């Protein structure tokens, strides 16, 4: 048996063992000095690679590869967008080999989306190292599939891209291969934990190389680099820069694959996944902005504005690390609607989540909340509504075949806090969301949301996140599109749109529950007999001059009158209005407000005719806060005025006073407007706007 040579590492004749003495010639010393200062010279003269056609051959670099080496050598942070099979990994490995040979006591991490890929890259480096002249080599102290250690103190490790792979170590170079294929949550965690250790050095480097794969963190870092929003130097290589690739090659490649695949893998376009909810061309044109404020998962793009209306949709996770608890803040004041804030956190516990929602919602003008309640979301909604006493938690009611209807809570025993995500809800929400974004009716400027939309794909008969991705923010948009953009059909809303007392009265006297299941025309005909509609549809309405006439004897006028912006109407509580102990029954107060509102409508819009109008005025929500009791035969005065209005909705404010001027209660109601033809939601009609704005 032959005795292994003393200078060989573990019997490998191509590897020099550590601490082996080497005699250098003058020429060799000159070569080492030249290679030290010029990595391109070293690569061209001494590196060998394995090719499919020719086997082991010297590495003849392309022009763009030489430029890449210069960029790596001269800059700390580099990000490269390269086409498939362009030799990107080879040139990186070559530069890393030069770095560990000619720098003492440096640590290098080769990280890839898969650990096997990282080990393969290390294997290529090891192959190139083995074919170096022994006098050019550093002695080997450790040599295995996952790491190498040289006698100059330099080390290289190979692992999958994760924070745990490099935690606790300091690295001079971190190379991230195919970074676009690393899931977003892992990529974010990696940079939050690793980047501070890298940036703390003065010469440490981060080199990121990938082919695009959707609009993920690689996409964000690339766009930020192009726009000089980070420290990375962008390097882009076109497929035509690779020798042998021309238009004929392009045509053949497309014929063997697909045009979309070619755009992603060779033209390096940041296309999303196949079969995304939002059209791919639209996704490409969505541009993100940096938030003006960022704190612990909360990103703010616009601060709250006075008199603006906001809606927050919420998706709740269990806080176990896989899914995120998330909410999105929408400004719904005017078209196009826009996203002004978002929250995303995969560590927040469900019981702590309501406090964060509550704080943000209060800040955004007591925003409406629509919460998905399939799982523990119901607990979050309950804490907000009952424990934190937040009034603007939206409710949904079940309406048979119609499914869930977002209403005010006056919808009967089948109502619930929040919305339950069903197949029907998701289908409608996705359909509306596609329309909103593709028609520019919803402005999306958040990177995380855009990223999720690029991987929000069709699977069987539904849409969900691509495997390895998240869709928590995308589902917040789906909830918004269902809950806020759904057609407000009068057939579905009659039960929840009238004040509470009216609902009780109508159900018991006119069998409303039967009526709302009839055809829409029948509902409207029945509604025409309701006093509220009768009052605003009188053929001979009373003019404002008439209602402002002096009050008749007894101190009460028949039609009410205006006191500045307030419309005022007084009445006497009758015996029938009271309960068994002589106090006015609580359900009468909404009735008093409803009566006053009818007269206000009649005074403000004397020409309104239910039979000929192109729109109907309906109640979107009603609330009343009780202050004190009053009794039979007491004079009750109701004051009502226009509090605010936006493009879609109008809010009326009311106050109720007793005979001595004491406040009995106060509240507000929101009005909406629907087409008399198809009951679709309308902007505030011009005649209503003109009539009401005089009193705003």
Question: Which residues are known catalytic residues?
Answer: 178
Strands 456-459 and 462-465, by their bridges, are: antiparallel
Three-state DSSP at 432 gives helix
Cβ–Cβ < 8 Å for 673, 615: yes
Q: Is the dihedral of CA 444, 445, 446, 451 positive or negative?
A: positive
Chain centroid to Cα 349, Å, comes to 20
* Spatial distance between the Cα atoms of 532 and 498, rounded to a whole number of angstroms: 10
Cβ–Cβ < 8 Å for 121, 177: yes
* Spatial distance between the Cα atoms of 342 and 23, rounded to a whole number of angstroms: 65
At CB < 8 A and 24+ separation, what contacts does 53-60 make?
A: 56/131, 59/90, 59/94, 59/128
Which residue do the tokens 């039967």 mark?
514
Q: Output phi, psi for 552, to 5 deg.
A: -70, 175
Cβ–Cβ < 8 Å for 606, 653: no
Three-state DSSP at 433 gives helix
Element (H, E) at 417: strand 415-417
Q: HSE (CB half, 13 Å, CA atoms) of 646?
A: 14
Cβ–Cβ < 8 Å for 463, 456: yes
Which residue do the tokens 């009216």 mark?
502
What are the beta bridge partners of residue 160?
112
* Spatial distance between the Cα atoms of 117 and 140, rounded to a whole number of angstroms: 23
Cβ–Cβ < 8 Å for 345, 324: yes
* Spatial distance between the Cα atoms of 180 and 210, rounded to a whole number of angstroms: 6
What are the beta bridge partners of residue 639?
568, 655
Cβ–Cβ < 8 Å for 535, 609: no
* Spatial distance between the Cα atoms of 340 and 357, rounded to a whole number of angstroms: 14
* Spatial distance between the Cα atoms of 313 and 481, rounded to a whole number of angstroms: 10
Q: HSE (CB half, 13 Å, CA atoms) of 328?
A: 29
Which residue do the tokens 């009818």 mark?
598
Element (H, E) at 137: none
Nearest to 481 by CA among 533, 545, 425: 425
Cβ–Cβ < 8 Å for 442, 337: yes
Give the residue ranges of DSSP H helices in 202-294: 217-226, 247-256, 259-265, 280-285
Q: HSE (CB half, 13 Å, CA atoms) of 140?
A: 23
* Spatial distance between the Cα atoms of 22 and 486, rounded to a whole number of angstroms: 80
């Amino acid at each position: 048996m032959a005795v292994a040579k003393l200078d060989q590492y573990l019997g490998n004749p191509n590897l020099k063992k550590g601490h082996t003495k080497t005699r250098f010639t003058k020429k060799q010393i000159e070569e080492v000095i030249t290679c030290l200062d010029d990595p391109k010279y070293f690569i061209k003269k001494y590196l060998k690679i394995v090719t499919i056609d020719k086997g082991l051959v010297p590495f003849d670099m392309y022009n763009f590869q030489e430029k890449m080496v210069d960029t790596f050598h001269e800059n700390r942070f580099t990000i490269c967008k390269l086409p498939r099979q362009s030799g990107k990994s080879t040139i990186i490995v070559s530069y890393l080999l030069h770095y560990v040979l000619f720098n003492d006591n440096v640590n290098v991490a080769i990280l890839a989306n898969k650990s096997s890929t990282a080990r393969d890259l290390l294997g290529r480096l090891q192959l190139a190292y083995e074919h170096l002249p022994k006098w050019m080599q550093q002695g080997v102290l450790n040599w295995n599939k996952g790491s190498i250690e040289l006698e100059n103190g330099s080390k290289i490790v190979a692992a999958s891209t994760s924070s745990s792979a490099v935690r606790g170590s300091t690295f001079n170079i971190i190379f991230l291969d195919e970074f676009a294929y690393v899931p977003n949550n892992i990529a974010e965690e990696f940079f939050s934990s690793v980047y501070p250790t890298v940036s703390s050095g003065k010469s440490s480097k981060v080199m990121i190389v990938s082919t695009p794969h959707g609009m993920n963190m690689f996409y964000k870092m690339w766009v930020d680099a192009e726009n000089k929003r980070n420290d990375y130097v962008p390097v882009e290589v076109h497929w035509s820069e690779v020798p042998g690739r021309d238009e004929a090659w392009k045509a053949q490649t497309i014929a063997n694959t697909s045009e979309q695949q070619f755009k992603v893998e060779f033209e390096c376009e940041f296309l999303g996944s196949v079969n995304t909810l939002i059209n791919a061309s639209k996704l490409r044109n969505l541009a993100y902005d940096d938030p003006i404020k960022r704190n612990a998962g909360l990103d703010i793009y616009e601060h709250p504005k006075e008199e603006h209306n906001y809606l927050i949709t919420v998706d709740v996770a269990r806080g176990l690390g896989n899914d995120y608890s998330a909410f999105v803040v929408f400004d719904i004041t005017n078209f196009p609607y826009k996203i002004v804030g978002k929250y995303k956190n995969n560590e927040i516990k469900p019981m702590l989540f309501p406090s964060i929602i509550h704080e943000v919602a209060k800040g955004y003008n007591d925003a409406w909340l629509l919460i998905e309640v399939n799982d523990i979301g119901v607990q979050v909604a309950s804490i907000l509504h009952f424990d934190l006493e937040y009034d603007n938690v939206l409710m949904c009611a079940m309406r048979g075949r119609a499914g869930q209807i977002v209403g005010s809570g006056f919808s009967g025993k089948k109502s619930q806090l929040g919305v339950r995500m069903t197949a029907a809800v998701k289908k409608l929400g996705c359909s509306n969301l596609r329309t909103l974004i593709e028609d520019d009716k919803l402005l999306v400027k958040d990177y995380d949301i855009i990223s999720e939309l690029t991987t929000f794909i069709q699977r069987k008969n539904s849409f969900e996140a691509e495997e390895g991705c998240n869709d928590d923010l995308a589902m917040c948009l789906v909830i918004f599109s269902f809950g806020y953009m759904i057609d407000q059909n009068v057939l579905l809303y009659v039960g929840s749109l009238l004040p509470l007392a009216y609902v009780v009265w109508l159900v018991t006297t006119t069998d409303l529950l039967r009526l709302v299941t009839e055809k829409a025309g029948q509902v409207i005909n029945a509604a025409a007999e309701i006093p509220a509609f009768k009052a605003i549809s009188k053929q001979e309405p009373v003019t404002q001059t008439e209602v402002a006439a002096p009050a008749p004897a007894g101190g009460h006028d028949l039609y009410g009158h205006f006191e500045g912006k307030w419309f005022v109407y007084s009445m006497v509580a009758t015996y029938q209005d009271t309960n068994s102990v002589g106090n006015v029954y609580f359900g009468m107060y909404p009735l008093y407000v409803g009566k006053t509102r009818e007269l206000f409508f009649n005074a403000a819009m004397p020409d309104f005719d239910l039979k000929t109008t192109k729109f109907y005025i309906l109640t979107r929500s009603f609330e009343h806060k009780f202050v004190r009791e009053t009794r039979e035969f007491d004079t009750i005065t109701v004051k009502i005025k226009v509090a605010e209005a936006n493009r879609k909705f109008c809010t009326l404010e009311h106050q109720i006073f007793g005979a001595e001027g004491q406040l009995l209660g106060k509240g507000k109601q929101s009005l909406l407007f629907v087409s008399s033809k198809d009951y679709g939601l309308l902007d505030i009609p011009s005649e209503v706007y003109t009539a009401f704005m005089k009193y705003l």
